[in-house]
Structures are given as structure tokens and as C-alpha cells.
Structure 1
Amino acid sequence: MPMHDIKKLLEKYVAGTCTPAERSLIEQWYQQESDRSKVDTTKISFDRLEADIWQQVQLTVAPPAKGLTMTRGRLLKIAASFLLLLGAATMLWLVWPAKEAWQEVIAAKGKPLQFMLEDGTRVWLNAGSQLRYPAHFKGASRQIELITGEICLDVKQDPEHPFFIKSGHVNTRVLGTIFNVRAYSQLAYLQVTVQQGKVAVQCDNKLPQLAGQEVIVLPGEQVTVHTQSQEISKTTVDATAVNGWTTGQLLFNNERLDMISLMLENKFNVTIAFADPALQAYRITAGIEATDTLEDVLTALCLANKLNYSTQNHKITFSKQIH
């Protein structure tokens, strides 16, 4: 945070116009510094200290405007306030959280993104997804956060600075290169799929039944973390098909219909619902090309999987075929 912003924040605190979060930050800092202050002041000559401050004020403070009188005590108060403000600003600069160094990017529906991180890691962020990452990697590790959606990463190798991606209560440690993470906030499960190399998947303490367990995922494997039932399963998949969306294709091999529906929502900017909630777990195998229209996709899905769909007020609803 720039120093002038810190100064404004302190001025807001004095004026009583801080937000609760800003006020809490300053007060926590003040309490922390007060607790750590164990300086012995018994040998300090405060008369001499005041004289020294007064001498510095005379050297640095401009003469008052003509006709304006200012007492020595008033100047000392101004000087002390300024020194306190400057000292607090310096300390706040040191203890302020590093959140300002993080950037957030959102891929709009229908518009997946591709870009590169500072370390050379290539990122494909699927439509409708949200990612946080630092502008500059610092410290012993590199970490990014998938807030919601789907991401494919080709991680730049750097053994001395391991790469982590946080998604909800699941952390994935990269031990290889190309892999995919699906962590849609609308779904009660998360999937990590490896195309090349390997990763280690581990849950935090918010999922107590899974905390501490580490699952190694190898090429062609997909691990699914069920966040509600707190169960982990691993299967063999076509990782290239899972990552097909990075080239505009959607390739589904025994994929759940709720996952497919989310990807269609984000690709075509529509809303999809289910007449029967049980349809969400329906397994689908299908291939969608980049040039296919929404109508083509819905028709093909329904014909091949004994489903119907209806459209009303821009909302698509899947239902079972009635024989």
C-alpha cells in the first residue's frame, strides 16, 4: 500500500470515518506494538527530550504567517502528532497484509481466458471462472487460488519454489506439469485431473474426516473430493478430453450431467435446470465441437441419452423421456 494511502487511513481513524475493518486493523496494530513495547524509560530526561524536539521544530517548521501567533506548546503538539503519524504509517507499512499484491481475474461466460503468470506458468481459465494470484511470487513457494470454476495449468518447473493451487478447502501441490482443477461453487464436489506429471491433493481442517490425507494423482487419473460426504475417490480418465475445453471442444466421457450443464451455462451464457434432481448425477458421453450451436448440443445430448429439454424465459430444463 502506498505511503500516502496509509496516511489517509490514519487520518480517517482520527476523524472517526474508518470502516470497521480499517479501524480493527489499526487497533490490532496499536495493541500489538503496545504489547511489544518493553522499553525502560526511567533514565530518559524528558526535559532534555522536549528541548531537542523544540530545536528540531525550529529548524523544520516554517515561520507562522504574519499576524498569527503560535505558542511553543502548540508547535510541540503539532510536531508530536506529525511524528506519531509518520511512525505509525511506517509501522503499518511493515505489518499491512500483502493482499494488495494479489490480482483477481474473472473469465466472462462464453469467453475463456489464456494468459501466463510471472513465473512462466501457462493458465487456461474456463468461462465463468474466477482466479486470484499474486502479481509477484515471493517466499519459498508459489500459490494461487481458484475461487470458482475450472482451470488448466502448465506449471513452470522450479523445484526450489513448489507450486500450490488452493480451491475451497482443497490444496493441490504440483509435482509435475499439466493438470486440471474443477471447483465450481455450485457443486458439492471438486475434481483434479492430471495430463502430465503428477500432483498431490490434500484437504484442510475444514474437512476434518479428510484432513491430513494426501492423494497422489498420476497422468490419466482423476481424483474427486466430495465436500459434503467428505469422501475421496480416484478413477482413470482421458485427461486430454477433460482439457478439451482449452481448445474450444467439450468432450464428455461418462461425465455427470450437473457438471456438463455448468460448462454449457458458461459456454453459451444460459441457465439450465432439472425437472428431476436425480438427473444431476446422470452420466453422459458426448463430444461438442467449437462450432456447434446450443441447439445442436441440446438435441444431440437428448437423443443419445433419452432426455428431453424445454426452453422458457431463457431457461433450459432437462427432463426424462416418457415412454
Structure 2
Amino acid sequence: MNTDNTYTSYTDFLKDKKFIQWQLMPNENLDIYWQSFIGHHAEHKKNIQKAITYLKKIGLNESDLSENERTVLLEKIQRTIRQEKKIKQRKLFWYTSASAAAIALIIIGITLFYPSSVSIDIPDKELITGELLNNEDIQLITSGEAIIFKNDVEVTLNEEGTAEIVQANNETSKVKIDRDKLNSLVIPYGKRSTLTLADGSRVWLNSGSVLEFPAQFSGKKREIRLASGEMYIEVAHNKEKPFYVQTGDFNVKVYGTKFNISTYSGSPQSVVLVEGSVSLQSKDHKELFITPSEKAVYSGSGTFDTQKVDVNQFISWKDGYLSFDKTPMTEVLQQIGRYYNLSFDFENDINLQKRTCTGKIYLSDNLDNVMTIISLLSSTSYQRTENKILITNELS
């Protein structure tokens, strides 16, 4: 909570979650708090009123929503809260979910866009079904054995060929790593982990990834293999030993750098360079160099298409949120599905591909928080019953 001397402008109040909650979802306690604040700090009254005016007249107007759609959005937030009080047993929406969603919509600037040439009148019968998949265990495979971990892990290799493993509950253990063969770290959907290699390079592994690596780097080069999934890596500089990442279709040669590789099945394979320099090479094709803030997408025929991008949209997952810029909602759900081990069926979709999302979705441990934000973004509603999620159209 901000202290009174930290409010130097009306924009400081717009950064205060408690203030925004008071404006969007007021209750008796919040009214008492802010009336008392104003009574004790009259010098802030003008900026408070300016912030209130901004929220009412400007905050939601920066989106492409019509006046009617903005009204529906705010009514939906408040209706969700009223329903939660009356039908708690259904557990479809929680007060905290609606609160988090409303605050996210203002502070983060999540915006719903409709293409001007597309009608948003969608038949009510269309829906998306999602299913929570069974969580599998993280596996560290070494010496022909699989060591199982229930939670996300941080694995650190040392020069003695031992891996120190810290689990999410801070439980620590040590495992002897095979020096003669490649070892594997298998991350199922719904889990994530980090790995510090023997040379000090650090790897973040996203859900659904398999990385093969040695206990130590011997010889004149350092090599690892991303068998599937997605990784972000910060490579330790060693001019004498170049670093290589192998994938099934191409290899990446590293010249001291930070970059992201995505090789999910069913999605375009890509490399996004954050810092430094890398080159890409596929079979029978020349080496291709890319520069920072450049994305290279593998074409499938051995060539790459390159373009300048905002790298944060491709690496934010490692910091616990997803960043979008006019991203199709179907792609948003695909990323959410990977992160939370969900399977969405788009066979009877609600034309979400015609809508895009700009902003950030924080990857809360509470899936309902995230699904509530998505339903607000897409003008849909969702219902979660055990391991099933139904997303339906709210517009008629």
C-alpha cells in the first residue's frame, strides 16, 4: 500500500490496485479507507478526482470497444461478484478472480480488438471445450534410470558431475550424473524448470520440453539438444569452446548470447535472438546469421523467414506472464493450454480467431484467475466442472 507521500500525481493512484478496486468494485471497507484518506490528506483530493475521471471517461476508452461493449464489460465484472455471493457452491468465478481481472484490464491495458470487417454476432450453440490433462512428473534421466519430481525443479550441474536439485518446496537433493552419455530433463505440460549447465550457461525449459545435455563439456565445443518444446538460454561466454543447440531440423551456433527456441509440434519452429549473435543452419543450406530483436521461423523446407519483433512477447513466459500484441485468441488459448496442461477443442469454436489480444496475462497458480481474464477479453463465459472447461459465447 502506498504511503501518502508517494502520491505525487494522479497517475500514482492509477497504479494503486486498492484505489482501482475501490472504483470498479467498491465495498464498505474500501469506502471507509479512502474517505478517511481524503479526510487526512486534502492535498490529494484534486488528483484523486482526476484519477476517478480518467477511469470513468478515458481508461476504458483507449480500447476499440464500443460504448455498449464497455458497459457490458463493467456490468459483467460486477455481475460476476454478485453471482459468486449467491452461488458459491458452483465455484465458477471467485471474487478474487473478478478483482484480479478488473485490475489487470486497467493497469496492464489488456484490450479486445474486433476487425472492422468482421461481424461479432455469433450463434449461441458454438463453444470451445477444454480438458485438464493428468499432470505427469518431471523426469531427470541419467545412467539409464529416471528420477521423478512432482514439482518444478532447479537443476544445477557442477564440475564433479553431480546435479544439485532444488524443488518448489525448497527440498534439496544431489544426484550423480552420467559422464559418458547424454542425460535428459523431461518437462511435461503443466510444469516448468531451469537447468544450469556445467559451464554456467542457464536454461529455462517451458512446459512440454525435453532437453538432452552432458554432465560436462569435453572436447572443443559445447553441445546440447532440444528434442522438443521450448527453451530460453543465457550462454556463458567461452571463446575457446563454441556453443551449439541441436534440434530435429536445424542447428544453432552461438557466439555468446541470449535467445529463445520454440520447437513445439503443430506450431512453427522459431528462434528469437535477444542479445549477442547466433547463426542457423539446416541440412544443405547456407549458414544464416540473425541479429538482436530478430525472429527466424523455420519454413519446413530448410529455409528461414526473418522479421524484427518485440522479444519480450517470446520470452516473458520464463518470468511468469505471457505478453501479447494483437495475438489471435486461439493462439492465446494454445499458450495457456501448454502452461496449465489443458487441451482445448476448437472443432465448434466461437470464431475467436477473429479477435486479438494485446496486453499481459499473469500466470497465476489459480487457473480461475486466468480463465476469468480470458473470458472478459473475448466476451465469452466459461464454466469449470472438475477437469472440464466449457467456453461459450455471451453475445446474442
Q: Provide the TM-score with structure 1 as the length reference.
A: 0.58
Cα RMSD of the aligned pairs, angstroms, is: 3.2
1:150 aligns with 2:230: yes
What is residue 272 of structure 1 aligned with on the other side? Answer: 344
Matching residue's letter, 1:253: D
2:204 matched residue in structure 1: 124
* Partner SS, residue 275 of structure 2: coil
Residue 377 (structure 2) aligns with: 304
The answer to whether residue 297 in structure 2 is matched with residue 224 in structure 1 is yes
Picking from 166, 190, 195, the partner of 2:269 is 190
Please say if 1:169 is aligned against 2:249: yes
SS in 2 for 1:151: strand
Q: Per the alignment, do residues 262 and 173 of structure 1 end up closer, same or farther by CA in structure 2, a change over 3 Å counting?
A: farther
Distance 1:272 1:136 in 2: 40
- Tell me how far apart the structure 1 counterparts of residues 317 and 247 of structure 2 sit (CA, whole Å): 20
How far off its partner does 1:269 sit? Answer: 2.0
The structure with more helix, counted as a fraction of residues = 1
Match of 2:213 in 1: 133
| Matched residue type, 1:294 | L
1:10-25 → structure 2 map (5 Å cutoff): none
2:282 aligned residue:
203
Larger Rg: 1
The Cα shift of 1:172 comes to 1.1
Contact 2:355 2:378 in 1 (8 A): no
Shift of 1:239: 1.4
Q: Is the 8 Å Cα contact of residues 364 and 370 (structure 2) preserved in structure 1?
A: no
Distance in 2 separating the partners of 1:257 and 1:176:
35
Q: After superposition, give the CA deviation of every residue in 1:81-102 in whole Å (9 maximum; x if it has no partner).
A: xxxxxxxxxxxxxxxxx99510
Q: Which runs of 5+ in 1 are unaligned?
A: 6-97, 205-210
1:173–1:264 Cα change, 3 Å: same
Bigger RCO of structures 1 and 2 (CA < 8 A, at least 6 apart): 2
What CA distance in whole angstroms lies between the structure 1 residues aligned with 2:192 and 2:202? 14
Alignment: residue pair count? 219
Give the whole-Å Cα distance in 1 for the aligned partners of 2:193 and 2:239.
27
- Counterpart check, 1:213 vs 2:286: yes
In structure 1, what is the Cα distance between the partners aligned to 2:392 and 2:198?
46
Distance 1:212 1:308, change over 3 A: farther
User: In the superposition, relative to structure 1, how do residues 232 and 276 fare at CA in structure 2: closer, same or farther (>3 Å)?
Assistant: farther
The 1:217–1:266 alpha-carbon spacing in structure 2 relative to 1, beyond 3 Å, is same
Residue by residue over 1:156-190, the C-alpha shift from the partner in whole angstroms, topping out at 9 and shown as x without a partner, is 111221111112211111123111111112x2420
